């Protein structure tokens, strides 16, 4: 198959992603990490060999969004870190800290995953 899907979060999801859960606050049903993961990211990972998530275009991602969007792939959707290492690339052209935080949340979720 060798399919690669690039998701530019600010174009394909929301220009200002924020929040962990869709019911955190009014509007989070459109902006939360849970919604991004469940409506876009999981399907892309299942349908493609590689998925690149481009966070560029927004410079205020909260840890809660990143934790739920990326760590939640393991804790809530059953992926393993090994699978994500093979399939998922996270990038931001100007703020590397968002990439580091997202990857840290994946590692933390894997460490908590029942073996």
Would you kindly state where each structural domain of the chain is located, as residue ranges? Answer: 4-112
Q: According to the model, what pLDDT value does residue 24 have?
A: 95
Q: According to the model, what pLDDT value does residue 113 have?
A: 85
Q: According to the model, what pLDDT value does residue 114 have?
A: 78
Q: Which residue pairs, CB below 8 angstroms and at least 24 apart, start in 20-23? A: 20/64, 20/65, 20/67, 20/68, 21/68
Residue 1 reports pLDDT greater than 70: no
pLDDT tens per residue across span 64-109: 999 999 999 999 999 999 999 999 999 999 999 999 999 999 999 9
pLDDT tens per residue across span 10-51: 999 999 999 999 999 999 999 999 999 999 999 999 999 999
The 3-class secondary structure across 3-44, one letter per residue, is CEEEEEHHHHCCCCCCCCCCCCCCCHHHHCHHHHHHHHHHHH
Q: According to the model, what pLDDT value does residue 10 have?
A: 98
**What is d(CA 49, CA 113) in angstroms, rounded to the nearest whole number?**
23
pLDDT tens per residue across span 51-64: 999 999 999 999 99
Residue 2 reports pLDDT greater than 90: no
């Amino acid at each position: 198959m060798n399919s690669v899907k690039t998701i530019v979060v600010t174009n394909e999801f929301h220009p200002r992603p924020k929040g962990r859960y869709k019911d955190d606050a009014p509007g989070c049903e459109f902006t939360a990490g849970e919604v991004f993961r469940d409506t876009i990211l999981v399907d892309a990972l299942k349908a493609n060999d590689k998925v690149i998530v481009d966070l560029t275009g927004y410079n205020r991602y909260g840890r809660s969004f990143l934790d739920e969007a990326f760590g939640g792939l393991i804790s809530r959707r059953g992926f393993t870190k090994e699978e994500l290492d093979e399939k998922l690339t996270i990038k931001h052209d100007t703020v590397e800290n968002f990439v580091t935080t997202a990857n840290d949340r994946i590692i933390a979720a894997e460490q908590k995953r029942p073996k």
